[in-house]
Chain A
């Protein structure tokens, strides 16, 4: 059996190694046909094709070189348009000159930029859009007026021209990614399925071979050697793994153009399910689901003496595979909007974004149903189900983030920090994110209904972008998963998830759920606190005979599983006496003091 385990490990390492190598394993060749297939606007396409002549039909060996060439191309196209439509200093001076008594006016714009000429006509319009609000204002001096106008022209250069005529950074990011993917040549491109098998396939097989021999051990808590393990105790392998995960997420969210080889491998899978070629998020969802499935098998074997753990693990495996992965893809195949029926705002922070609302509203009955369903989850399912079962119904039975944490992340649960200091940080941080999510969404909806992008004191587009980058990608992704081997498997859920904060408030104040402690049986050993992924100092309560009612508790039930004295139990009962009294049974003469 040891041999099987070792063999599994070798397969896993081999698969993982090839996966990493394949990251670099393509050459790239850009052709006009590829460019045309990825671009829509014809003007700049022509320009782009022209500018890229130097590298067309020539084999570029590395993705880094290819991407940097693309960067140069986009910059040169943008530069061209900036030169073409950028306002010159001479034109600014003319604008100043046309402003009698330093009062700026629309007339000054018309005098400076003639509408008869194509280019100046564009400039005329641009300047009116961005500088029109200055009309009628009087400035104390010509210098001051000029400064103002220069700032308008700066804004034009920065935002307007590039996004109207050239490629703004969103377009650049998307196009870099799709051009790289389309231009790839080499073994991965020509044998995606083969590569899928020898990378991810081999890793999955290896993992399972590594996991199954655990069945030979007697069932029961087997946490032997965790704190001597180089993976599970923040030692070299753990740090290396964390670094790899962080890098993976940074690439996925911010530099997807480099990971196109990996996406190519899952193209056939995506085509099978949804009929479309794979996006990077399809790849991500595919790997994510496999992680939950494979490590879910491990979780079930590890805790096979506990039916609670087994059922809970089946549940997260099911919700991830069906609800998060398959159903949305199948919806696409059926020409319906992509929709994850178990994702809830504000974890699903873009639920109320205009593009998504528009998509749902444009899809008739199905879209309306999805919208109503999503809102009902927020305002009915969350409070009602938390009242009856505790926040665990979502966090450790349904949620995708929770699902990954409870399976892939389970080996790292002991790394959460249990100090009071961290509890304090946790409380303000998670609630701050909730406030941020609510304000951001409020702003987005305000803009949706009023068309005004300025809400209170911020630009709602800017705000949602900041939220998406820092919370959605940075916190939930990079930190959330990348920090598994460093700070435990629930870093995001504990410090960042706004939905967890909302569920937690309900759980703390209005719920039948609690963890009961069994009289005076606690021996203060500390297993419960050590294995609490949420960093709750369970022992603090248990050793004084008090029930545990904490907003952060996700009800994973592991404290109860690891307790060697049978002290802890997750229970739902009447609200009366929910907190329990901090008094230990067994002693006749001890009263509560505080």
Chain B
């Protein structure tokens, strides 16, 4: 008699969220295994680049262009896409309840649900013409809300706020930009850079109102007509953009037994408190410290790195999430910004810094080092592109500030024929050293 052999069922990995985190995990799991992979996401059918939303609105690209992979890619790589919204996670039964009523069971679950925009309960925040900007539906809404309008107000001086300002200006809509801080983004940037960017923003005819807070939004017939600031100023407008940060998008996990605080709590292996449930990207809060890093990091790169790491763990090579030195980049209108390592908005006791600004007021570098041992800690660079690879290496090798300054030219990543400023920067640095040592 022949015994029937039951094949072990293929492990089913279910990923919630088709953003950079979830998709990186899916791709890397596929590279390393033949597990069944299902990605469930409700915003769009295919993975698109959230970071490019502004370019769609400005007409630089169409939505199609923001998809990093062609539509056939997923089928070819046997990554099943399911457009639905996960309403509930049942960790006992290892199953998910979807908005469509279906249930999906999993062997391993990856939560990569990203963020949602903050709203602080301002009066009038639900009027028509008032909105935030995070996802594709917001983009469509903004398209509708800004049709034929003249004046807009943006509240909150972060990166999404400045992108929104640029978007609106591209449609010839006047912008008033309310920022709580003394200079634009000075909760992150040192004051020199913050002031450089503030000047640049103004040069684009944005009415930048610093140290200004929103009190309420006023409307007529359900539609926004003006806002009032704490100082009592009224500004007429037909659109209000609320860009006061984002927070993890995790409500649907309430009562699931998966522990959350600000975000889904994870350990070094990106495991939650429930076995076989992992979490990644914007929606995550680390339970452990990493030097110089916040426990909730809502940037593209961390999501991507976490996706790479979790794939290795799920495929059997248990791997810690240990990102290398911090890096980030952005663009403020025409000025590109890159940062490597740690440059805080204020110097710590043990830190010393050097700042150089080009006469155009559109380029600068800012380096910080530990004055107890001269170890280089980080750099902000505006208007000059620098090599990630160099700074990553120098930071890992704990190079001294002198080494970094004398090798600055190696790190330059500007295109051929661009003006080079290393000599000027180095000369100014020596000058500062001399004057300090006196």
Taking Cβ atoms with an 8 Å cutoff, the residues of A that contact B are 218-221, 223-229, 305-308, 311, 419-420, 516, 518-521, 523-527, 529-530, 539-540, 543, 557, 560-562, 564-566, 569-570, 584-590, 593-594
Does any Cβ of A come within 8 Å of B66's Cβ? Answer: yes
Whether A586 pairs with B324 at a CB distance below 8 angstroms is yes
Residues of B within 8 A of A527 (CB): 52, 55, 60-61
Question: Chain A nearest CB: distance from B127 CB in Å?
Answer: 28
Question: Chain B nearest CB: distance from A34 CB in Å?
Answer: 55
Whether B68 pairs with A519 at a CB distance below 8 angstroms is no
Shortest 6 CB-CB contacts between residues of A and residues of B: A519-B388, A220-B334, A566-B385, A525-B52, A307-B417, A225-B59
Please provide the chain B residues from 315 to 359 with a CB less than 8 Å away from any CB of chain A in the complex.
Answer: 319-325, 327, 329-331, 333-334, 336, 338
Known: A218-B204, A220-B334, A225-B170. A585 touches B388 (CB 8 A): yes
Give the size category of B's interface with A.
Answer: 35 or more
Residues of A within 8 A of B62 (CB): 227
Question: Chain A nearest CB: distance from B274 CB in Å?
Answer: 23
Please provide the chain B residues from 67 to 81 with a CB less than 8 Å away from any CB of chain A in the complex.
Answer: 67-68, 70
Whether B418 pairs with A565 at a CB distance below 8 angstroms is no
Whether B333 pairs with A223 at a CB distance below 8 angstroms is no
CA distance A585 to B324 in the complex (A): 8
Whether B55 pairs with A587 at a CB distance below 8 angstroms is no
Q: Which B residue sits closest to A593, measured CB to CB?
A: B31
Our pick among A516, A523, A593 for the contact of B49 (Cβ within 8 Å) is A523
Known: A587-B305, A594-B31. A524 touches B49 (CB 8 A): yes
Question: Chain A nearest CB: distance from B160 CB in Å?
Answer: 13
Whether A564 pairs with B68 at a CB distance below 8 angstroms is no
Taking Cβ atoms with an 8 Å cutoff, the residues of B that contact A are 20, 28, 31-32, 49, 51-52, 55, 58-62, 65-68, 70, 170, 203-204, 300-301, 304-305, 308-309, 312, 319-325, 327, 329-331, 333-334, 336, 338, 385-389, 392, 413-419
Known: A518-B413, A564-B331, A565-B331. A585 touches B59 (CB 8 A): no
CA distance A520 to B340 in the complex (A): 11
Q: Which B residue sits closest to A580, measured CB to CB?
A: B389
CA distance A500 to B67 in the complex (A): 29
Residues of A within 8 A of B324 (CB): 585-588
Residues of A within 8 A of B322 (CB): 587-589
Whether A525 pairs with B415 at a CB distance below 8 angstroms is no
Q: Which B residue sits closest to A590, measured CB to CB?
A: B308
Residues of B within 8 A of A594 (CB): 31
Residues of A within 8 A of B66 (CB): 525-526
Whether A223 pairs with B392 at a CB distance below 8 angstroms is no
Whether B387 pairs with A525 at a CB distance below 8 angstroms is no
Whether B415 pairs with A593 at a CB distance below 8 angstroms is no
Residues of B within 8 A of A564 (CB): 331, 336
Mind listing 12 A-B residue pairs with CB under 8 Å?
A: A218-B204, A225-B170, A516-B413, A523-B49, A524-B20, A524-B68, A525-B55, A526-B68, A586-B305, A587-B324, A589-B321, A593-B32
Question: Chain B nearest CB: distance from A190 CB in Å?
Answer: 48
CA distance A530 to B62 in the complex (A): 9
Question: Chain A nearest CB: distance from B303 CB in Å?
Answer: 11
CA distance A587 to B32 in the complex (A): 18
Residues of A within 8 A of B330 (CB): 565
Q: Which of B49, B327, B388 has the most CB of A within 10 A?
A: B388
